[in-house]
Structure 1
Amino acid sequence: MQETAAPVCTTPPLAYTLPAHYYTSQEIFEQEKKTIFARSWVCVMHKSQVAENNQYATAQVAGENIFVVRGRDGVLRAFYNVCPHRAHELFADGAGKAKNVITCPYHAWSFGLDGKLIHVRNAENVPGFCKDNAGLTPVRVEEFCGLVFVNLDMDAKPLAELAAGLNDEIRARCPDVDKLVPAHKLSYEMKANWKVVVDNYLECLHCQTAHPALVESIRMETYKHEVRGLYTSQVGQTRSGSDAFTYDSDAPNTDFAAYWLWPNVTLNVLPGDGNYGVFYMFPVDADTTIQHFEFYFRDSTPTAEQEQLIEYYKNVLKPEDLSIVESVQRGLKSRGYRNGQGPLLVTDDKTSAIGEHGVQHFQQMVLDALAA
C-alpha cells in the first residue's frame, strides 16, 4: 500500500483525499471555525427574510450569534447579537420586525438599526462616558443571487467581486432570482462531517450507482463539471417527463445547473421556469451537519410540476445522499480504511462528469485555509 507524504498531492495522477482525522477530529473542526467560517462569506438566509425595513433575522456563524437587519433607510446591515454593556443577547433566535430602536432586555441600552448607541440610563452621571465608542459590533453583509451572506472578517474582499462569474451564470439561467419566494423547506440532521457532505456534492462519479433516477433524468453525455476558483459548476441537459423533472417544452431553462460556493452552500437552478434550490450546510460539530434545502419559486404555492420536483428531492435524492454521507462518516473511523486516505480519480479532463477534480479542489482549499 502506497503511503502519501502530504495530506493532498496536487499532481493529478497522485491525488489523495484528506486524511480521515480531518473529518473526525473535534480539534480540527474548532480550527475550521476560526480559519474557514470566520473568514469566509457564509450564506445564512434568503433575502425575503429581511426584505422590508425593520425586518431582522438571527443566524449562527463560526459559533457566533449574529443578526441581520434592514434599517429604516433600506440599508441591510449585520451585527454581533450581543450588547456591548454586559453581553446580553439583543434578540432571541428567530426573525421578526424590530422597532425603530433595539433595546437590550437586560439594562435597556438602546441602539438604532444602524448600530449606533442612542440612550443609556444614568450615563450622564458617568464622567467621560462616550456613546460614540459603545455601538454594536458590525459584521460584513452582502446580498448575492437572492441570498444573504455574512463575513466576520471585516477586511474580506466583496463576495460580488470574488464570485462575479457565479452571479452572472445564475442570473443568465434564472433572471428573476431576486423575485422568487420561499415555497418549501426540507431539513436534515446528518451524522456526517460538513466536508463529507461537500465532497459528495462535488462529484458525480457516484451518480450511476447511487442516483439512478437522477442519471435517467440528465443526458450524462452533456454533463460537465468545471472548477472556477471560489465555486464550481455542474451542468447537464435534462429529459422532461422523468422521475425528477417535468417542464413545458418552451421552458426558459432545461438544464440541471448545480453550483457549489465556498465553503458550504450550493445554488441550484433547476429545469423549468424560475425553479431555484439552495442547500444550506451548517456544521454543528466534527460528526454532525444540519442541512436545509429550500425551494424558491415565483409563487409560494408550487405548481404540479414543482410539487413533483420537491417530492423527488424529499423521497429519492436526499435519502440517497443521507445514506451515503453517514456511511462514509462511519467508514472514516474504520481501521480498514488503510492509511486513512484514498486515491482520487483526477484526470487531465477538467470538465469530466465522472472525475473527482472538484473534490480535490475543495480539499486543497481546506488545507490552504487551515494553514493560513
Structure 2
Amino acid sequence: MSQSQTSWDEQIPEQALTLPSRYFYDRTIFEAERDRIFMGAWHFGCHVNELSEPGAYVVRDIFDQSVILMRDKAGDIHGFHNVCQHRGNRLLNETRGVQKGLIRCAYHSWCYGQNGALKGAPRSQNIPTFNIDEHRIPPVRVQEFAGSVFFNLDSNAIDMETLFPDAEAAIRQSIPKMDEMKLVQEDDVIIPANWKVIMDNSIEGYHFQLSGPHHVDLASLIDFSEYNLVHKDNWWTYSAPANREAKSAYGVPVDSDIDASDFFNIGLWPHNTFYQFPYSKCMGTFMMIPLDEEHTILRFGYYTPYDELPEVSRAAIDWMNNDLGPEDIDLNISVQKGLHSLGYDQGRYMIDSERSNESEHLVLHFHRLVFRALHGINQSHQ
C-alpha cells in the first residue's frame, strides 16, 4: 500500500505507514536531500578543545566539499573552504594537525594565514593588477554550540540557538563536563546503507530487548521502564536512568553509587548525535555522513574529561566498537537489502498512544522532517 505525496504527512501517528522504500535508495531523492537538507545543515566539526592552540585545525568533508576549521593567533576560530584560490588545489589533506605558520599550497606555494587570508603568492609582484586582498579563501560559517564547533555551508542558515532552542541546556544538564572533554579516538566506518536507515535504528527502543545479545546487555544497564523518547521541532532526546543495581558494565566491575551516569542521547537535525552510556565516564559522538543513496560514513568519536582514561571508559569504547556497533551495523545492512524487495514498500510504525519506551514516534518525527524538507512543507505543519 502506498499514499500520495500530500497525504503521507497527514497520517494519524498511531495508524501511520512508513516512508515508501524508494526514499532509502532512489538517486533523485538522495540528490534532493543533499541540496535541500545537508547543504544548509549544521555539521559537527569537533570539540572546541581540539582547536586549543593557534594553528590547530580539523578538516571536514561533506560530499565533494572540504572545510578547514582553524584557530588563529588571536584565539578566534575560523572556517574556510579547503581550496587554493589559484588553480583549485586542495590545501590540507590530514584530518587534524597544527599549522604553526602559513598554510602553503603544495602546487605553486600560494600561502594563507590562519584565517584564510592570502599572505603571499610567488611572482604576484610582477602582475600589476594583482591585489592580494582579492584572493582570500571564501569563509564558511562556524558556530560554537555546547562546547563544540559546527559549520554550515549556507551563510544565511538559521543560527543554532534559534534552530535548536533549549538543546544546549539539555546537553549540559546531562553531560555536565562537556567543556572539559578531550578527544580519545575517532573512527570512520563506511556502511552500505542509506543514512536514514542508520538514524532510524538509533532512535527507537523497540528492538533493544529483541534484536541481539549486546542490545540486551545495554538494556540491562538502564532502567528500561523509564526509557523516554521526546522530540522537539528540530532536535530530540532518548534517555533513561542507569540501573543502580548493576554490578558490572562492559565487562568491568562498577560501583552503582559512584559516577553512575544516566543513558542520554540527543539528536540535532539532521544527522548529529551526542550520547553518554551509563557508567561509561565518557561522551560519544555519532555522525551519519552520507556518501550516496546507499553508502554512509559512520563517524564514532569518543571524548573524556579525565587526564587519564578510566578503565570503564576504555571498556565502553571497545564494547561499542567491537560488540554493539557491529550488531547495529549488521541490522542496517540487512534493512537496506530488504528495502529493495518487490515484497515491500511501506511498513507500519509501531506507535502507541502513550508514546512508551518501545514506541516508534521518534522515527515518524524524523521521517516527517525529511519529507517536509524534500517537499517544501512548512516545518510547523502538523
1:206 counterpart letter in structure 2: H
Is 1:4 matched up with 2:9?
A: no
Determine which of 329, 337, 343 is the counterpart of 1:336: 343
**CA deviation profile, 1:130-178 (whole Å, cap 9, x unmatched):** 3332210111112323332110010112223322422112211222212
Is 1:78 matched up with 2:82?
A: no
The change in CA–CA distance for 1:321 and 1:101 in structure 2 (over 3 A counts) is same
Distance 1:90 1:151 in 2: 20
Q: Which residue of 1 aligns with 2:232?
A: 228
Contact map agreement 2:248 2:254 (CA 8 A) in 1: no
**CA deviation profile, 1:158-217 (whole Å, cap 9, x unmatched):** 223322422112211222212122224454322211110001111111112012212222
1:329 counterpart letter in structure 2: Q
Distance 1:152 1:308 in 2: 37
The change in CA–CA distance for 1:10 and 1:130 in structure 2 (over 3 A counts) is farther
Q: Which residue of 1 aligns with 2:323?
A: 316
Q: Which runs of 5+ in 2 are unaligned?
A: 377-382
2:322 counterpart letter in structure 1: N
TM-score when normalising by structure 1? 0.91
Matches within 5 A, 1:98-177: 98-177=99-178
TM-score when normalising by structure 2? 0.89
Structure 1: which 4+ aligned runs deviate by more than 6 Å?
none
Secondary structure of residue in 1 paired with 2:320 = helix
Contact map agreement 1:243 1:312 (CA 8 A) in 2: no
Q: Which residue of 1 aligns with 2:20?
A: 19
Distance 1:157 1:354 in 2: 33
Secondary structure of residue in 1 paired with 2:108 = coil
**CA deviation profile, 1:298-342 (whole Å, cap 9, x unmatched):** 2364322223322332333212211111110000011111xx111
Shift of 1:42: 0.8
Q: Which residue of 1 aligns with 2:379?
A: none
Q: Quick one: percent identity of the two aligned structures?
A: 32
Matches within 5 A, 1:1-372: 2-6=1-5, 7-210=8-211, 211-239=215-243, 240-244=246-250, 247-252=254-259, 254-272=261-279, 274-299=281-306, 301-337=308-344, 340-350=345-355, 352-372=356-376
Contact map agreement 2:192 2:333 (CA 8 A) in 1: yes
Contact map agreement 2:118 2:133 (CA 8 A) in 1: yes
The change in CA–CA distance for 1:114 and 1:185 in structure 2 (over 3 A counts) is closer
Contact map agreement 2:247 2:255 (CA 8 A) in 1: no
Distance 1:318 1:137 in 2: 38
Contact map agreement 1:71 1:113 (CA 8 A) in 2: yes
The change in CA–CA distance for 1:24 and 1:273 in structure 2 (over 3 A counts) is closer
Contact map agreement 2:261 2:281 (CA 8 A) in 1: no
Shift of 1:243: 4.4
1:345 counterpart letter in structure 2: M
1:349 counterpart letter in structure 2: E
Distance 2:363 2:372 in 1: 14
Secondary structure of residue in 2 paired with 1:309 = helix
Distance 1:129 1:314 in 2: 52
Contact map agreement 2:261 2:276 (CA 8 A) in 1: no
Secondary structure of residue in 1 paired with 2:54 = coil
- Work out the number of aligned pairs and report it: 368
Secondary structure of residue in 2 paired with 1:318 = helix
Distance 2:188 2:128 in 1: 52
The change in CA–CA distance for 1:116 and 1:314 in structure 2 (over 3 A counts) is closer
Distance 1:9 1:345 in 2: 17
Contact map agreement 2:50 2:183 (CA 8 A) in 1: no
